[in-house]
Amino acid sequence: MLDASATRPRRRYRSLFLSDLHLGARGCRAAEILDFLTGVDAETIYLVGDILDVWHPGKLHWGAAQDAIWSDLSARARSGTRVVYLPGNHDAPLREIEGDRYECFELTDSLTHIAADGTRYLVLHGDQVDARIFRFHFMTRIGSRLDAALRCVDHALRGLRPSAKRGIFEWAICGVNALMMVGNGFEKRLATMAITTGHEGVICGHFHKAALRQSGPITYANCGDWVDSRTALVETFDGALQLVEWRAEVEAVPARQGLMGEVEA
């Protein structure tokens, strides 16, 4: 039987920004990521950090879906799509690679993206402006271990009660992620960095909270993540930025499964 997701038309964009896939971590939504990718096409794809979770504690969660995601991105790069990898704190070892290539991808810590309308955006993962204590690797490891442990318990409980809705452990996971950002001044620091480097906007990930809004004179755009929010940022061919969200179709309509919708900003 032909996979319906392979036959549905792709939405075309000038640029696609993806962050925080966390491939290899328990919380990664690999099937949803893969379904999303089959429905989009872009001239340039920016992988805005924490794509690989290369230091995730405990068992590595990697299977056919993760392989397919990596193969899809690599195939696009080899066929002429510009794919740029900007490492984050969970794939920080890539920052130690000499040169400007990682496999078939461009590799850089940050860059300037010039939109079709001429707007200059600073693109980076965002951990570069973390408060000093949160820049230490042990802090990320603590957060990762708490997140992994809570997700493990939540997964076990959902196995016992498949129909259970969002529970205390899922709320706790969100609390751990928020705790890691307390007092960080994340958005304000990024806006200041963008202004001082001659940009009109900043595009980042890291915070796991999708956003697209004005932050003073700066456009602040956060891609969100593919652990909880399952969102991405796209640029249309006229230079406009949009947040898009993967969501499963409620009705059993195979040709529309994994429909992507805009996120209200």
Digit-coded pLDDT (tens) for 45-75: 999 999 999 865 567 889 999 999 999 999 9
C-alpha–C-alpha distance, residues 17 and 15, integer Å:
7
254 CB neighbour count, 10 Å cutoff: 14
How big is the chain by its Cα radius of gyration, in Å?
18
More confident residue, 260 or 20: 20
pLDDT at position 78 is: 98
Least confident of 12-21, 69-78, 114-123, 186-195: 186-195
Q: Which amino acid is at 87?
A: P
- Longest CA pairwise span in the chain (Å): 55
pLDDT at position 169 is: 46
More confident residue, 251 or 89: 89
Mean pLDDT (the chain, rounded) = 80
pLDDT at position 107 is: 98
Q: In the 8-state DSSP scheme, what is residue 61?
A: B
pLDDT, tens digit, 9 for 90 and up, residues 111-169: 999 999 999 999 999 998 865 444 444 445 545 455 544 444 555 555 555 555 545 44
- Residue among 157, 137, 119, 141 at smallest CA distance from 241: 119
pLDDT at position 163 is: 52
pLDDT at position 26 is: 83
Q: What are phi and psi of 91, to 5 degrees?
A: -125, 35
C-alpha–C-alpha distance, residues 107 and 178, integer Å:
29
Q: Are 158 and 171 in contact (CB under 8 A)?
A: no
More confident residue, 264 or 225: 225
Q: In the 8-state DSSP scheme, what is residue 96?
A: G
pLDDT at position 1 is: 30
pLDDT at position 230 is: 94
pLDDT over threshold 70, residue 93: yes
pLDDT confidence tier of residue 215, bands split at 50, 70 and 90? confident
Q: Residue 24 half-sphere exposure, CB side, CA atoms within 13 Å?
A: 14
More confident residue, 220 or 130: 220
- For the record, the structure tokens of 182 come out as 């307390």
pTM for this structure?
0.79
- Residue among 133, 228, 131 at smallest CA distance from 172: 228
C-alpha–C-alpha distance, residues 112 and 78, integer Å:
23
pLDDT confidence tier of residue 175, bands split at 50, 70 and 90? low
Choose the most confident range, by mean pLDDT, from 84-98, 147-161, 184-198. 84-98
